[in-house]
Amino acid sequence: MANFVYKKVDALVFGLFSPEIIKKMACAKIVTPELYDKEGFPVDGGLMDVRLGVIDPGIRCKTCGGSLKECMGHFGYMDLARPLIHIKYADVILTTLRATCRECGKVLTDTKIKIEVEEETPAPVVTAASEEEIVLPPLPTVEEPVKKETKSSKNIKKCLHCNAKQFTIKLEKPTTYLEDEKKLTPIDIHTRLLRITDEDLEKLGLDPKYARPDWMVLTILPVPPVTIRPSITLETGERSEDDLTHKLGDIVRINQRLFENINAGAPEIIVEDLWELLQYHVTTYFDNEISQVPPARHRSGQALKTLTERIKSKEGRFRHNLAGKRVNFAARTVISPDSKLELYEVGVPFSVAMELTIPERVTEWNIKHLKKFVENGPQKYPGSNYVLRPDGKKKKITEETHEQLLEELQPGYIVERHLMDGDIAVFNRQPSLHRMSIMAHKIKVLHGKSFRLNPSVCNPYAADFDGDEMNLHIPQTEEARAEAEILMQVQTQIITPKNGLNIIGCSTDSITGNYLLTKNMEFPKEDAIQILHTIGVYNQERFEKFKKNVTGKEIFSVLLPEDFNFVGQTKNKKPFIVKEGILIEGHLDKATIGEEKGELIRALYAQYGQDIGIDLLGKIFRLGLEALLRNGFTTTIADTDLPTEIAEKCKETIYNAERRVAQLIEQYQNKELESLPGLSIEDTVEVKILDTLNKARSRVGEIITEISDENNPTIIMAVSGAKGNLLNLAMMAACVGQQAMRGKRIENGYRHRTLSVFTKGELLPKAKGFIKMGYKDGLGPEEFFMNAITGRDSLMDTALRTPKSGYLYRRLSSALQDIKVAYDGTVRDANENIVQFIYGEDGLDVSKTEGGKINVTRIVKEIVGEK
Amino acid sequence: MTTLPEHLQKELEEHFKKFKPNEKQKQEITKRIETLYEDAKIAPGEAIGIITAESFGEPSTQMTISSFHFAGVAEMNVTVGLVRLIEVFDARKKPSTPQMKLPLKAKYSKTSEMVKEVSMKIKETKLGDITEEISINVAKGSIEIILDKKKMRDTDIKLSHILTRLKESFKTLTLKELKDSISLKGKDEIKLSELYKLKEKAKTIHIAGLKGITQVLPIKDDDGYVIHTAGSNIEDALAMEEVDKSKITSNDVFEIAKVLGIEAARKAIINESLKVIKDQGLDIDIRHIIFLADVMTRGGVIKGVTRTGITGEKESVLARASFETPMKHIINATLIGERDDLNSVVENVIINQPVPLGTGLPGLVMKSNKK
């Protein structure tokens, strides 16, 4: 086995390069703006100098001899003809200049103030310089103390040390410094900053080891390696240079011109102009988005992307490349449902299974087994794509190589074989809002081109099948596979840590099916056994106990373990009792097997553990579907037909409400209405009308419930909790009701009415968005319009909410990401500062509880016996 | 030996009382609960911060944004939903709709008249509220204040009180009482623009009531009258004899921190977040809310979940830089030669090293068996 050297980065230290270091680490001095000569070779001393690294394949680096992949590039440097201000440090230079004497470079303040500053901001950083004098607290944090120093020294007109007169220094953005209205050149600034002693710098809150202010005035400019600014060869053979190279080219050109002019003794004005131009180029080289500075542009007019823009924002280095990385061994395709799969499985198409691989090490025990994969090669399933030799060489299996590879295969080799049933994969759907958005599944290789998953796991992923795509990752090491299997598999994630309820459960059809099955279905013995066989239950003992006709309750009971006792409630608060594995009373519905609410699911899970729990859940799910399949189930528009008397009753209710509203309006107009406390008359009548109309709508809903026909599929779905509710039914069958915006009826526009068909100041229900028709009967034009208003409003709400909540989530996660439970049970952040002494005040993990609690009642009842 | 947390012990005792198990059963029950508790304990290394962030982040996508909630009175709107939640987590200095609930002592809430009287005492009255007009007399260079006698009677404010308040606020001006108005004049000539400013200032002079309370609404509930206010002023409300001091609530977290201390503020953050979550019909375990409130208040001051708050005060440069304003953090880090010890999560993601959380936390080393 190879002897790995595991390197660990222990810490990073930030600081500035001194001119000496820049020179020392440089491999080339850049003197010419030309990039290539006539033959197309990089010019020596140009920006693409071969000593700066390799960007073309097949060429070796002139400095280190490495090839494209090995050489990471080398810095160059260029001497600047005149010193320049580093734009990012313009403010620091200003404060430093203000805080020190213009003659002697000492800090313009007395010791008393200094101590005050240091006491106020005890800083976390310990430097080598301050270690000797332990009495003093270490350096204060950055800018603050500098500012304070200047504040206290602002009024000091004379240096305390050399009595030199001081003037006010101003920074004219971006890079011009004025002392008493006279311009300070970078040369002056540089000499002044050089005078400041290391000791004084510490007083200013700067670390002289890492950030001497004179380094902030550039006298020499490092030229980054070509590897960070590679050029692209276009199809035409033309080379297109990186933005940075362009910018550096400008700098070199102007710099050389400046040199020439100075040496030729050109007039001061010309030198100054060039100097300023060079300052502009260097400024935009660092940051091209500074206010007051026009951004440097391409010929096409597009602003160049220089150093700061490379780092900044979502597309910048940090968030795009460093905090989020691209991976290999991943696949993405459309998902589709397959209820015959187990919940913890994922169907993977052959095309994916033959592309993604799992590395398997050859040993003397599995060599025969693995040879088969090599023999099959990449074209035949199950085969393999690559073989890794012990020396690290990777060999692709092809027609030519596979004979030879087969022969040389021996223990120590690694075979990258195709995916097979039972392999572990990590499955994910974006947006990954919680940990259940990435779960581990067992692979099941299937025909077709989409990923298949059990509809029950849609809820945690928030997936549906209207074209959603999902990602699949294959863990490549034993450790990763073990972690995925133990910590991430679907059965470990049934209970969400959000509130301790089951995020996975039955939904829609399977609830309807189970509801009907356990309520009133009956099957001949043969059918019952067939149903159970289809869902994967082969309990011969129980089958033998079946009578000629088997009820749905009995069929369901076969699934349950024989020692299972459970007392719960159905959705409509009727008892649901399981005794010794037999469903005695009640029926299944959303409250027992549904998502979030399924008490039965949680009880099974708590009592029998993950594996049996998920197995049972899968079976219950399929049982529901199978029951529906045998009986047939559909919902039609006729479901919303109301018997004439009921329809009459509804109409009457609405008519009465309208009359009542009319009365209210009349009272209001006659000023007979008494205002409610704290409300104006106008508001009072609004509140009363809204109240009346809402009551009428609820009454209509109630009337419809009264008739609720037990065999009406729409009602069955509503009652069982599979989908929809009775209010939805009322909206379809009888009356849509008041359209409300911000808790009020639709408000008038500028012309005192909602629509021009109404008279001005109209208060009648229909003029303010009351829809008295049901969806089936159809809405009137003005009703339709009102309905569209609220519809549009809710669309807007969603569109605005998504980015807001996304940002909240990002802030929360970056604020809390490092906080963990320590070994002593306390909650601590990354630097071991205690946040809580015990998590959640009782140390419980929400995802291991039942709704955030430990179910004492169940245990007591179990031991004492039911009372 | 496990000791159960207090609330579990209490629950257990209650169950013992209700179901009356015998001694042996009691022992068995306790043992079962103890093992259950041990099993449900949180594992060391659990990335609880991320779990909390997820527990808030995921449901927040389901919240409604519609920010106003009708509380019965037009001016008494309350910010609710996602907007309010963000407001609490941001630790904004002032809530957009500050509110208080002031329960009255039984003594003072026997009749609705008494309650009305108290609520009038609570509501802030500004000079502008009890005047018919405040005008500038250009000729005389003075400000004329014409009082509204009826409103003064309603709010029970005496003329003398107004005069003293005016004197306190305009020390440089001379007051002159006319027939039914008050005239304000400076010793020297005042410029018109100055005069205009003075006029605007005069309107907002605090005359009576609690500062900042713009609306009051007495609501009767089971335990008597509660006065709901728009605007929050805990300090002055505490000084009122009529108010039941132990039950005052406010939604201004910063004011609570100032008046009642950081522990109270922590509780206020918990309550305010819980209110939003309940209101939206969501279910987030209380432990997450407690945890976030603890993180926000652990330094003794309220820190928001912002780049200047919790994240901004992280020790790691890279962690701060990867959140927002990366350049600022890097530049400042260079000035003091800041050292990043790579203790937390993003830094290690950035440099491709295992993260010190969960399975990345234990430093387990196995010696290979060399033979």
Q: Which of A127, A287, A812 sits opposite B53 (nearest CB)?
A: A812
- In B, which residues are within 8 Å of A797 by CB distance? 64-66
Across the beta sheet with A827-828, the strand order is A820-821, A827-828, A834-836
Q: Which residue of A has its CA nearest to B20?
A: A864
CA-wise closest residue to A655 among A765, A755, A761: A765
pLDDT of A625 strictly over 90: yes
> Quick one: pLDDT band at residue B360, thresholds 50, 70, 90?
confident
Least confident of A129-133, A735-739, B350-354: A129-133
Which residues in chain A are contacts of B291 at CB distance < 8 A?
A: 827, 835-836, 839-840
Contact B302, B293 (CB under 8 A): no
Closest partner residue to B42 among A435, A678, A844, by Cβ? A844
* pLDDT value, residue A117: 38
Q: Which residue has the tokens 């919940």?
A: A343
CA distance B4 to B13: 12
- Residue-wise over A232-243: b if at least 16 C-beta within 10 A, else e? eeeeeeeeebbb
Three-state SS at A169:
strand
Compare CB distances from B285 to A500, A829, A861 and report the shortest one's residue: A500
Query: Cβ A497–B217 below 8 Å, yes or no?
Result: no
Q: How far is A843 from chain B (nearest CA, A)?
A: 6
> How high is the pLDDT of residue B50?
93
pLDDT tens per residue, range A655-708: 999 999 999 999 888 888 877 766 678 888 888 888 898 888 888 888 887 776
Take residue A74 and report the two structure tokens written for it.
């080398």
Provide, as residue numbers in chain B, all residues whose Cβ is less than 8 Å from the Cβ of A864. 19-21, 25, 29
DSSP-derived secondary structure for A419-452: P-TT-EEEEE-SS--SGGGEEEEEEEEESSSSEE
C-beta atoms of B335 and A497 within 8 A: no
Is the CB of B230 inside 8 Å of chain A's CB atoms? Answer: no
pLDDT score at A708: 66
Q: How confident is the model at residue A121 (pLDDT cuts 50, 70, 90)?
A: very low
**Sign of the torsion angle spanned by Cα atoms A596, A598, A601, A603:** positive
Q: What are phi and psi of A740, to 5 degrees?
A: -110, 140
Whether B333 and chain A come into contact, CB under 8 Å, resolves to yes
Average pLDDT value for chain A: 85
Closest to A619 (Cα-Cα) out of A551, A495, A536 = A536
Q: Say what the pLDDT of residue A120 is.
A: 38
Interface mutation vs chain B, best among A86, A813, A857, most B CBs within 10 Å: A813
Upstream peptide bond of A33 is cis (omega within 30 degrees of 0): no
Q: What pLDDT was estimated at residue A784?
A: 93
**Spatial separation of the C-alpha atoms in residues A531 and A626, rounded to whole Å:** 7
| Whether B317 and A864 lie within 8 Å, measured CB to CB | no
Q: Which helix (H) or strand (E) holds A240?
A: strand A239-240
On the question of pLDDT at A122 being above 50, the answer is no
CA distance B322 to A810: 11
Task: Compute the nearest-CA separation of A546 from chain B (Å).
Answer: 37
Query: How many Å lie between the alpha carbon of A743 and the closest alpha carbon of chain B?
Result: 7
Select, from the ranges A735-744, B34-43, B119-128, the one with the highest average predicted confidence (pLDDT): B34-43
Q: What is the pLDDT of residue B66?
A: 65
For residue range A55-70, list pLDDT tens digits in order. Answer: 777 778 888 887 787 8
Banded model confidence at residue A138, pLDDT cuts 50, 70, 90: very low
Binary contact (A840, B287; C-beta < 8 A): yes
Q: Quick check: helix, strand or coil at residue A365?
A: coil
- What confidence tens digit (pLDDT) does each residue in A196-207 have? 888 888 888 888
To probe the interface with B, which of A818, A836, A844 has the most B CB atoms within 10 Å? A818
Closest CA to B47 of A768, A435, A630: A435
pLDDT recorded at residue B72:
53
Give residue B251's Cα distance to chain centre. 4
Which residues 270-289 of B have a C-beta within 8 angstroms of A? 283-288
For residue A678, list chain B residues with Cβ-Cβ distance below 8 A: 72-73, 76, 217
The pLDDT value given to residue A459? 93
If one counts every other C-beta atom within 10 angstroms of the C-beta of residue B16, the result is 17
Residues of B in contact with A841 (CB under 8 A): 5, 287, 290
Cβ–Cβ below 8 Å for B326 and A312: yes
- Bridge partners of B131, per DSSP, are B147
Q: Which residue of B has its CA nearest to A809?
A: B57
Helix axes A186-195, A90-99, angle to 10 degrees: 60
Q: How far out from the chain centre does Cα A799 lie? A: 17
Provide the pLDDT for residue A680. Answer: 75
pLDDT of residue A374 exceeding 50, the answer is yes
Q: Give the angle A252-A255-A258 at the CA atoms, nearest 5°.
A: 150
Place of tokens 């005794």: A579
Q: What is the ipTM of this complex?
A: 0.88
Q: Which of B4, B14, B287, B369 is the mutation pick for testing A, counting most A CBs within 10 A? A: B287
Nearest chain B Cα to A10, which residue?
Answer: B341
Specify the amino acid at residue A487. L
Higher-confidence residue of A458 and A116: namely A458
Determine which of B58, B227, B316 to mutate to test the interface with A (most A C-beta atoms within 10 Å).
Answer: B58
pTM given for the model = 0.88
Do residues B115 and B225 touch, judged by C-beta distance below 8 A? Answer: yes
Q: How many helices (H) and strands (E) does chain B have?
A: 15, 13
- Mean pLDDT across A364-389: 91
Using DSSP, state whether A577 is helix, strand or coil.
Answer: strand
Give the residue-averaged pLDDT of B27-45: 89
Cβ neighbours of A830 in B, within 8 Å = 314-316, 319, 343-345, 356
Dist CA A225 CA A576 (whole Å): 73
Matching residue, tokens 């915006």: A741
Q: Decide if A808 and B82 are in contact by the 8 Å CB cutoff.
A: yes
Task: Note whether B125 and B155 are within 8 A (CB).
Answer: yes
> What is the amino acid identity at position B219?
I
Chain A residues with CB-CB distance to B305 below 8 A? 808, 811-812, 815
More confident position, A239 or A415: A415
Residue among A211, A817, A831 minimizing CB distance to B335: A211
Contacts of B334 in chain A (CB under 8 A): 14-16, 210-211
Q: Which of residues 1-20 of B touch A (CB under 8 A)?
A: 5, 7-8, 11-12, 15-16, 19-20
Q: By three-state DSSP, how is residue A61 classified?
A: coil
A835/B290 CB distance under 8 A: no
B338, B341, B369: which to substitute to probe chain A, counting the most A Cβ within 10 Å?
A: B338
Specify the pLDDT at position A422.
93
Beta bridge partners of B250: B100
CB pairs under 8 A between A and B: 344
Measure CA of the first residue to CA of the last residue in chain A; give whole Å: 66
In the predicted structure, residue A867 carries a pLDDT above the cut 80: no
| DSSP sequence for B229-240 | EES--HHHHHT-
Highest mean pLDDT among A586-590, A749-753, B70-74: A586-590
Q: Which tokens is B146 given?
A: 């014409």
Phi/psi at A578 (5° precision): -120, 125
Chain B residue closest in CA terms to A483? B359
Among A242, A175, A87, A846, smallest CA distance to A493 is for A846
Which residue in the block uniquely carries the two structure tokens 């006029």? Answer: B199
Residues, chain A:
867
Pairwise CA distance, residues A589 & A597, whole Å: 10
A132 has a pLDDT exceeding 70? no
CB-CB under 8 Å, A816 with B53: yes
- The pLDDT score that the predictor gives to residue A109 is 67
- The whole-chain average pLDDT of chain B stands at 84
The token pair at A480 is 């990763």
| Alpha-carbon distances, residue A749 vs A681, A688, A753, A787, B147 (angstroms) | 20, 21, 6, 16, 37
Mean pLDDT of A542-556: 89
| Candidate from B36, B61, B327 with C-beta closest to A802 | B61
Which residues of A fall within a CB distance of 8 Å from B285? 497-500, 840, 846, 852
Rounded to 10 degrees, what is the CA torsion of A715, A716, A720, A725? -20
Distance of alpha carbon A39 from the chain centroid: 49
Write the pLDDT tens digit of every residue in A5-48. 566 888 889 999 999 999 899 888 888 888 888 877 888 888 88
- pLDDT for B133 equals 78
Average pLDDT over residues B156-184: 76
What is residue A116's predicted lDDT score, i.e. its pLDDT? Answer: 38
Q: Supply the pLDDT for residue A734.
A: 86
- With CB atoms and an 8 Å threshold, state whether A818 touches B294: no
3-state secondary structure of A194: helix
Partner residue facing B339 (CB), from A13, A819, A861: A13
A345 has pLDDT over 90: yes
Per-residue confidence band for A92, with pLDDT thresholds at 50, 70 and 90: confident
Strand partners, B216: B229
With an 8 Å Cβ cutoff, are B285 and A845 in contact? no
pLDDT computed for residue A143 by the predictor:
46
End-to-end CA distance of chain B: 43
Q: Which of B72, B82, B338 sits opposite A678 (nearest CB)?
A: B72
Angle (deg, nearest 10), helices B23-40 and A856-864: 150
Nearest to A88 among B7, B61, B331 (CB): B331
> Measured between CA atoms, how close is A520 to chain B, in angstroms?
34
Summarize the confidence of residues B80-99 as an average pLDDT: 88
Write down the H helix ranges in A264-315: 268-286, 307-311
Select the more confidently predicted residue: A632 or A128.
A632
Q: How far apart are CA A505 and CA A620, in angstroms?
A: 9
**pLDDT at residue number A532:** 93
Q: Which residue is listed with tokens 């280190």?
A: A64
Percent of chain A topping pLDDT 90: 33
* Predicted local distance difference test score (pLDDT) of residue A685: 87
- Which of B40, B63, B334 minimises the CB distance to A845? B40
Cα angle at B361 between A15 and B297, to 5 degrees? 70
pLDDT of residue A156: 62
Structural domains in chain A plus CATH codes: 27-74+224-319 (4.10.860.120), 86-121+137-216 (no CATH), 330-493 (2.40.40.20), 509-631 (1.10.274.100), 638-783 (1.10.132.30), 820-861 (no CATH)
pLDDT band at A139 (very low <50, low <70, confident <90, very high): very low
A685 near A668, Cβ under 8 Å?
Answer: yes
- Note whether B291 contacts A13, CB cutoff 8 Å: no
- The structure tokens listed for B110 are 């026997």
User: Does the pLDDT value for residue A115 go beyond 50?
Assistant: no
H/E segment holding residue B318: helix B317-321
**What average pLDDT score do residues A125-137 get?**
40
CB contact under 8 A, A9 and B56: no
Question: Within an 8 Å CB–CB cutoff, is residue B214 touching chain A?
Answer: no
Does the structure show a pLDDT above 70 at A423?
yes
